[in-house]
Each structure stands twice: as structure tokens, then as C-alpha cells.
Amino acid sequence: MESNTLFMKNSEIFAEAMIRCGIRYHFAYPITPATDVMKYTAAHFHKVGGRMFQAESELAVINCLTGLAATGQLGCASTSGPGFDLMQEGIGFMTAAELPCILLDNMRVGPGDGDIIGSQQDYFMATRGGSHGDYYIPVYAPASGQEIVDLMPVAIDRAFTYRTPVLFVMDGVMAQMIETVDFTPAKETVSSYDTGEWSYTGAKDRGKRALITGSYAHSDGEQMVKKLMAKAEAMTAKEQLWEEYELEDAEVVVCAFGLPGRVCREIVQERRKQGEKIGFIRPITLFPFPEKVFAGLPGSVREILVVEMNYGQMVQDVRLAVNGRCNVSHYGHVGGDQPMIKAREVRNRLAALVPA
Amino acid sequence: MKKKLVFAGSGGQGVISMATLTCLAAIECKWNAVMSQTYGIEQRGGTAVGFVVISDEEIGSPMIEEDADICCLMHPMIVDAHIKDAASGGIVLYNSSLVKSEPVRESVEFLSVPATDAAQELGERRAANMFALGRLSAETGFVPIEALCSALEKMLGEKKKHLVEINQKALRAGYAGGCNEEK
């Protein structure tokens, strides 16, 4: 496509951003609300010399991706909650084997098969690792199509730099929303990373043997976990991203990620105009959680309202980040004909916290 | 400038096309657009609703919560469910060819447009959606008619190029009043 400003579904924006940034391999199995990604890559990847491969299940998807990553190529797998469950073993393996990849979870209502409408119920699974063992992977929660495009080169860089799977999460409402997007920031970067040092490139002219494994014996295992923890520490120090608004003198702060973040920002802006001392934080990285912005909150803050399309997940990270310095409450739910949290509900909740 | 619009109808009437075209026309004007939609699992029939927010600034909430500036009701089956989407003081266009009596709702301005009949007279009943959109442009200026006409070519693309003429004709006819309207 030639034009840079387009009008597309956010799932398609994700796919187009991958193409423009140089990702050429996508593995997937159909699942609402993530199928639009593979529909798009099936139609467009082959035009740029890439491939979309529909495997027979999500187990196969993640193992295809593992095989690809072992050859030093950056690939992607997209899915929704039930499929993401099935991929966890593979994601744990890839993390232990230090294999970079891009993952997308378009969150829907769970647990179980749940419902196909959007939610933000995969926060725990995304940030705590759905697989066993001590590990963390970078998690990006864009709030708009534009932010998907802006974050794609960042995610690719972190995948190669830390040699780790990198996860994007969107709620299903945002995934299916259509909006204006400018693709200018999506530059081809994948080819600029050299993976020859560690990947399987065949025996020809081979200097040394690459060893990729997720199995370790005793002291090796301890070293591996320490290495993963050192990566997590480095990410926590360097990779926190968030959006903030009017925190300087805030008494109440509204905190939300993804699409509800957009809804809340608009409400906060509107209440500020009426002179209420309300601020706003939208975590963009869920791991590392943006603790820094919470550490820097002024003493004027007495309450943080966390709004999520779930029954209270990110709120736990907010509580850890403020460590009892102020009250933290939660507002959220899932389901319904219109799964998104309505501005009216948040306004009502705020009215109770900030008496006029 | 920020406008919220709802386009509701029966599946197959082209209400999602109305929403899409509105967004594309807004983009022609260098505005931002956000669209979400709901529809039944049926290919024809069932309900279809397109929710649109257009703005010359960054768009925050994509939600329409009984605050639509314009609500377009193309079929009687969705009138009850979606007339409440209009903001107080908003404009409600209804397709009077199918919605036989004026819907009941306080503090909105009604626009009765016999879109299906008018499109039939133009020779293509299915262009009722475009007729209504043209009329809406004339009455509210939500997007300029020229932006709609040029966005239409982009929306239909090479594959559906043969449909541009009749749809543009319907847009312009709607814009010009198109028929002898009784209010």
C-alpha cells in the first residue's frame, strides 16, 4: 500500500505494521476476536515475500513459531484467550531458550471458552507469565491503532535486544474497532538485527555450533533463571512506558490501560476543565509495570481509581506500586451487549470520590 | 469539531457502508475517524449498527452513550433500540419509506426522508443509504457532499467501480432534496 494514512481495523493495523516493520512470518489459528489479523496477513504477507501459516491448533502455532525463531527469523503469533492458554508451554520454552518473537492476545471474556466479546481479563496471564517458572516478558498495551504502529518498532527492538518473546494485548473491542492511522513511524527494522551469533543457520561454512534449549541441568538451570531475572531487572529499569496527565496537584488519579484508558482520559480532561483536581495515568507497558510514575506521585494524591474491563487485576500492581501511600480502589466489569466500560459509569464513580 | 453519529438498519441496507463512507469522507477533510459496529450473524436481515466519531482532534472515547449528534434510522426494526442513542438536541433522520410513523422521542429534531422510495425512482433501491447520507450532508453539513462523493470512489475501489455512478447519483439527489418532501 502506498498511502501512509489509512482507515483500518486495529487488528489489521497490527498486521500492516508488522509488514511495514519487516516481519514476514505469521502463525495463527482462527479465533474471535483475533482472526482479522490472520485474514489480513493471509492476503498480504505473500506479496512481500512472507507467509501466513494456519496451523492445526494453537499448540502447533507456538511450536511453529519456536522453530522459526530458532533460525533467527522474527515471527508472530496472534490469538485470543483460549488460544493463548494453549500457547503458554511454548512461550515458557521460548523465554527459557531466549528466542525472540512477537505475540498478540486480543482479550475476550473468560475463563474457559468464555464469550467472544472484549475484556481485559488476561492481565494476570500476560504479566505474570502463563507458563511455570520465574520469567517476565515485555507486554505492550496500545490504546489506539496509532499506538500499535508507534510501538511495533519498539517491540521488535526489545525482542531482539533482550532475546525474548514480546507480547501485545488489546481488548476485543479495540481489536475490532476501525480508525485512522498514519503508518509513517512503521519503518523496516527487522533486517538490521544480526541473529547469526546464536541461531541455527545450517551447517554450511559453520564456525561454531549454536545450542538452543529450554532444558537445563542443576547449576545451569540456576544460571538461566538468574539470566532471565537480570533481563527482567534491566527491563524494569529501562523500559517502563506510560501516559500521564495533570498529576502535579491531583487529589484523585484515574488509572486505566488500553481502550478504557482513552475513555478515562477524556473524562479526566473534562473534569479538569471544571476545576477538579483529577489526574490520569495510562500504563503502556504492563510489564515492566510503570512503577516510576506511581513513585513520583505528589503527596496531594489521596485516591487512585483503577478502571479495567475485569474484576480487579492491574489494581494489584497499582497497590504494590503505591505501597499503602494512598487509597486504591477498582471499578470494572465484563460482558454485556456493549462490553466497554461506559464514560457514564466512570463519571458516576468519580462523583462519589470527588464530592462537588 | 467533534461529531458522533449512529447508523442503524436492517442487515443488507448498507448502514455499515454509510458509517464507513462518513469516516472516509472525514478523512478526506483531514479529520480523524473511529468506527465500531455491531451486526447479527445473518447475511441479510438481522440488525446492523455502525457507530462513528469524527473529529479534527485526537479522538478519546469511541463510545456513543446517548450522545449522538446524528442518528440515522433506516428500518422500523431498530427504531426502538436506537432512537435513544441521539443526544438531546440531536438530529434523527428516519427512512420514512419504511418507518411509516414518526418515531416518538422528545427534544430531538426529526428529519423524515423517504430514502428507499427516492432511490427506487433513481433506479436502484439499494442506493437508499446514499440518498439518506446526501440529504444528511445538506441538512447538517456533517461532512461536505464533495468529500462523500470522492470518498465513495475510494471505498468502492476498482472491483466495484461500476457502482460509483449510481451511488454518487443517489448522494447528489439526496443532497439536492431529491424528491418532494412533506414534512
pLDDT in tens, B33-79: 999 987 666 666 788 999 999 999 989 888 898 999 999 999 999 99
- Is the minimum CB–CB distance between B154 and chain A shorter than 8 Å? no
Picking from A148, A179, A264, A340 by the largest number of B CB atoms within 10 A of its own CB, the best residue to mutate is A179
Average pLDDT of chain B is 91
- Shared-domain flag, residues A222 and A265: no
- Is the minimum CB–CB distance between A57 and chain B shorter than 8 Å? no
Q: Select from A238, A268, A295 the last residue of a domain.
A: A238
pLDDT of B182 strictly over 60: no
What is the arithmetic mean of pLDDT over A213-237?
Answer: 92
CA torsion A318-A324-A327-A328 (nearest 10°) is 20
Tell me the three state secondary structure of residue A325: coil
- Shared-domain flag, residues A296 and A161: no
What is the arithmetic mean of pLDDT over A17-29?
Answer: 98
Its domain, for residue A297, covers: 243-353
Its domain, for residue B37, covers: 2-175
Q: What is the pLDDT of residue A336?
A: 65
Domain membership flag for residue B22: yes
Report the side by side order of strands in the sheet with A327-332.
A242-245, A278-283, A252-255, A303-308, A327-332
Label residue B160 by pLDDT band (50, 70, 90). Answer: very high
CA angle in degrees (0–180, nearest 5) for B142-B145-B149: 125
A177·B23 Cβ contact <8 A: no
Domain membership flag for residue B63: yes
- Shared-domain flag, residues A228 and A275: no
Q: Which residues in B lie closer than 8 A to residue A179 (C-beta atoms)?
A: 32-35, 59, 62
Angle at which helix A10-21 crosses helix A145-161, to 10 degrees, equals 40
Supply the CATH number for residue B124's domain.
3.40.920.10
For residues B166 and B173, what is the distance between their CA atoms, to the nearest angstrom? 10
Domain membership flag for residue B181: no
What is the arithmetic mean of pLDDT over A33-61?
Answer: 97
- Is the minimum CB–CB distance between B16 and chain A shorter than 8 Å? no
- Shared-domain flag, residues A149 and A291: no
A7·B34 Cβ contact <8 A: no
Task: Judge whether A41 and A27 are in contact, CB under 8 Å.
Answer: no
The amino acid occupying position A252 is V
Picking from B34, B53, B154 by the largest number of A CB atoms within 10 A of its own CB, the best residue to mutate is B34
- Shared-domain flag, residues A77 and A135: yes
Q: What ipTM, to 2 d.p.?
A: 0.85
Q: What is the pLDDT of residue B40?
A: 65
Number of domains in chain A: 2
Supply the CATH number for residue A26's domain.
3.40.50.970
pLDDT of A355 strictly over 80: no
For residues B52 and B37, what is the distance between their CA atoms, to the nearest angstrom? 9
For residues B168 and B146, what is the distance between their CA atoms, to the nearest angstrom? 10
pLDDT of B178 strictly over 60: no
For residues B50 and B69, what is the distance between their CA atoms, to the nearest angstrom? 14
Picking from A5, A117, A180 by the largest number of B CB atoms within 10 A of its own CB, the best residue to mutate is A180
B60·A265 Cβ contact <8 A: yes
- Is the minimum CB–CB distance between A237 and chain B shorter than 8 Å? no
User: Chain B residue with minimal CA distance to A268?
Assistant: B60
Strand runs labelled E in chain A: 5-9, 25-28, 51-54, 75-79, 101-109, 115-118, 139-140, 165-171, 178-182, 242-245, 252-255, 278-283, 285-287, 303-308, 327-332
- Shared-domain flag, residues A247 and A222: no
For residues B100 and B175, what is the distance between their CA atoms, to the nearest angstrom? 22
Number of domains in chain B: 1
For residues B37 and A126, what is the distance between their CA atoms, to the nearest angstrom? 27
Residue A108 has which C-alpha cell?
475476550
Label residue A70 by pLDDT band (50, 70, 90). Answer: very high
Q: Which of A15-19, A80-84, A352-356, B80-84 has the lowest mean pLDDT?
A: A352-356
Residues 168-227 of A with CB under 8 A from B: 173, 176-180
Average pLDDT of chain A is 94
The burial class, CB within 10 Å (0-12 / 13-18 / 19+), for B32 is buried
Q: What is the pLDDT of residue A195?
A: 93
Q: What is the pLDDT of residue A224?
A: 93
The burial class, CB within 10 Å (0-12 / 13-18 / 19+), for A7 is buried
pLDDT of A1 strictly over 70: no
Buried b (16+ CB within 10 A) or exposed e, B90-129: bbbbbbbbbbeeebeeeebebbbbbbbbbbbebebebbbb
Q: Which of A16-30, A70-84, B30-44 has the lowest mean pLDDT?
A: B30-44
Q: Select from A238, A259, A277 the last residue of a domain.
A: A238
Q: Select from A238, A255, A271 the last residue of a domain.
A: A238
- Shared-domain flag, residues A79 and A59: yes
Overall pTM surpassing 0.90 (yes/no): yes
- Shared-domain flag, residues A104 and A197: yes
Residue A252 has which C-alpha cell?
484523585
Top-confidence residue, A114 or A233: A233
- Shared-domain flag, residues A78 and A15: yes
A266·B32 Cβ contact <8 A: no
pLDDT in tens, B82-139: 999 999 999 999 999 999 988 999 999 999 999 999 999 999 999 999 999 999 999 9
- Shared-domain flag, residues A229 and A276: no
For chain A, give the percent of residues with pLDDT over 90.
84
User: Chain A residue with minimal CA distance to B35?
Assistant: A178
- Shared-domain flag, residues A178 and A305: no
- Shared-domain flag, residues A114 and A31: yes
Task: Judge whether B60 and A260 are in contact, CB under 8 Å.
Answer: no
User: Chain A residue with minimal CA distance to B56?
Assistant: A180
Q: What is the pLDDT of residue B180?
A: 44
pLDDT in tens, A288-298: 999 999 999 99
Angle at which helix B128-140 crosses helix B164-175, to 10 degrees, equals 40
For residues B70 and B56, what is the distance between their CA atoms, to the nearest angstrom? 17
- Is the minimum CB–CB distance between A5 and chain B shorter than 8 Å? yes
- Is the minimum CB–CB distance between B87 and chain A shorter than 8 Å? no
- Is the minimum CB–CB distance between A342 and chain B shorter than 8 Å? yes
For residues B129 and B93, what is the distance between their CA atoms, to the nearest angstrom? 11
Residue B151 has which C-alpha cell?
470518498
Supply the CATH number for residue A271's domain.
3.40.50.920
A178·B63 Cβ contact <8 A: no
